[in-house]
A and B are shown apart, each in its own frame.
With several copies, the nearest count.
Chain A
Amino acid sequence: MNSAFEVPIVKRLEPASGHVELLVDSPVLAQGKPGQFCHILTPGTLRRPVSFSRLEPSTGLAGLLIQVVGSGTRWLSDRQVGDTLDVLGPLGRGFAPPRLDRPWLLVGGGTGIPPIYAALQAWRDQVSEPVAVVLGAKTRDALIMVKDVRQLGFEAELTTDDGSQGRIGTVMAPVQEWLAAHPRSQVWACGPTPMLRALHGATQGLSGPVQLALEQRMGCGIGACLACVVPAQPESPDGPAYRRVCTDGPVFEREELAF
């Protein structure tokens, strides 16, 4: 039987201002898949969903990289080594692993970068085709885990809205260029909704699989309350169907969504 359980924090990093990464010692969580998340108890009425930023099944470590945006993430960012977190997880549908015969395109925006890193970490030995990693954020400060990605041996193309690091603008310019050059790519992406919407458009007609990891406000986190829905296919005359980010996602195939 599953249950909420306590995991100890064994390392606390401050990768950028307003961001904290907590490494927890939990073989159960470390078995998670990139794109999956855990649902963490905070003082509020609801748990907070946070994706895995790292998954190290061999050492039993999992990472949670949190950007402070409100009361719950502030509380999380104040946790210290030795404290424990009360978590449900690993939850949800993660990224499908790469097909060996297609180029890779991984796109991460802001707090969508950590799951992309986790995917690269998990799949780094499976590279057989060209790989592009595009990471974007509003400003240089929010462009997290760039070093970690490079340490895995991947190049990363960077963008910031204000040009404070990498190319100025969104991830879409390098993405479009790559797709033009590598139309058979498979795509994984995680980031803010506008970015995913743009990618959804830009990948129309692509032959390879496109996997988009979404966010939505959550209640239960395990499929029971229908809080966390996003508009999905099939659209009916009344409008789109609604599917759950917590169990049907967070990762959806492009075709499943109705942006």
Chain B
Amino acid sequence: MDLTVSLPRGLVLKNPIVAASGTFGFGPEYASYVDLNRLGGISVKGISPKPWRGNPPPRVWETPAGLLNSIGLQNPGVDAFITDDIPFLTGVDTAVIANIIGHTVEEYQAVAKRLDAQARIDAFEVNISCPNIKEGGMAFGHDPDQAYQVVRAVRMVTQKPVIVKMSPNLEFPGVIAKAVVDAGADMISAINTLVGLAIDLKARRPALGGGTGGLSGPAIKPVAVRIVYEIASNVAVPVIGMGGVQSAEDVLEFLMAGASAVMVGTITFQHPDRMIRIIDQLPDVLRHYGFSNLNEAVGAALGKAGAVS
């Protein structure tokens, strides 16, 4: 079965399975565990104009069917990314999505401008939804005006496809989704992590060095599917869904809720090659549920009233 996904501005994925930003480094880390050429794409770790230190450890904490993280977007900055990582990625045959972050509108724009010149970057994912930094990050994703500004600024400096990554910590994701589409976003990815907190009972303190953290993993899948469903029902651009994907069935759930592709994060820590297994199983799972191709599944559950048997 052909799993190719054709997205706006010529972005083509071999299949709908993309490594989620922040869980897959810049590519080389997992290269000896996963045949990167088989992936639909890789969204690299968030990149800022200058190096960011990130948050104090501990940075991860296990929760029921979930994971709290407070990495705080540690990254070496766009220059180091270009020098150290793009050469490696140039040898890889998969879509490379640059996840970009900033404290200000200008910083987002600066990264986009720098990377626009890099042929190896196939698309941008504008992260306006990271709950783990104080300034910028999630704040931009919570205000339709600010979200508009950031996306507009990025749009002005690149003709590459622009994906905007949405926060789940919102009352009305549809409002932000509309604002970023108005600003020129070609696609929306959702969701980033939910804000959570755990207590280290022995230490009598919040378990993470950063205090709160971002909740990911299977625990958040119902919230993610709801937001994808809501966004897909409200805006016309393609949606890339994520949050707790573990299996090809989970992928199908996101597709039916309106996603054109999915990203896979936390499960990779347990099973480095799970994305490959999902890609292998997806055709059978689609067939099992009566779909003869991928596109048929996209949005298949949209607009259906609740089920009454």
Contact = CB atoms under 8 A, between A and B. Distances in A.
Interface of A: 1-4, 41, 44-47, 88, 193, 216-231, 236, 238-239, 241-242, 247
B53 A238 contact: yes
Given A227-B71, A229-B74, A222 B272 contact: yes
Contact of A44 (B35, B62, B268): B62
B58 A224 contact: no
B29 A219 contact: no
24 contacts: A4-B33, A4-B273, A41-B270, A44-B62, A45-B63, A45-B67, A46-B67, A47-B270, A217-B57, A217-B58, A219-B67, A220-B23, A220-B269, A220-B272, A223-B29, A225-B22, A225-B71, A226-B71, A226-B74, A228-B59, A229-B59, A230-B57, A239-B53, A242-B57
Contacts of B22: 225
B62 A220 contact: no
A2 B57 contact: no
Given A45-B217, A219-B269, A229-B54, 8 more contacts: A2-B33, A45-B62, A45-B266, A46-B270, A222-B272, A224-B30, A225-B69, A227-B60
B273 A217 contact: no
A41 B212 CA distance: 26
A219 B208 CA distance: 13
B61 interface: yes
B69 A227 contact: yes
Given A224-B24, A229-B74, A45 B57 contact: no
In the A-B complex, the 6 residue pairs with the closest CB atoms: A224-B25, A224-B29, A227-B60, A217-B58, A2-B32, A227-B59
A46 B59 CA distance: 13
B69 A219 contact: yes
A226 B266 CA distance: 13
B66 A45 contact: yes
A230 B69 CA distance: 15
A79 B17 CA distance: 34
B191 to A, nearest CB: 17
A230 B55 CA distance: 11
B271 A4 contact: yes
A82 B155 CA distance: 58
Contacts of A45: 62-63, 65-67, 217, 266, 269-270
A222 B29 CA distance: 7
Contacts of B53: 236, 238-239, 241-242
B57 A216 contact: yes
B29 A46 contact: no
B309 interface: yes
Contact of B272 (A3, A229, A231, A242): A3
Nearest to B219: A45
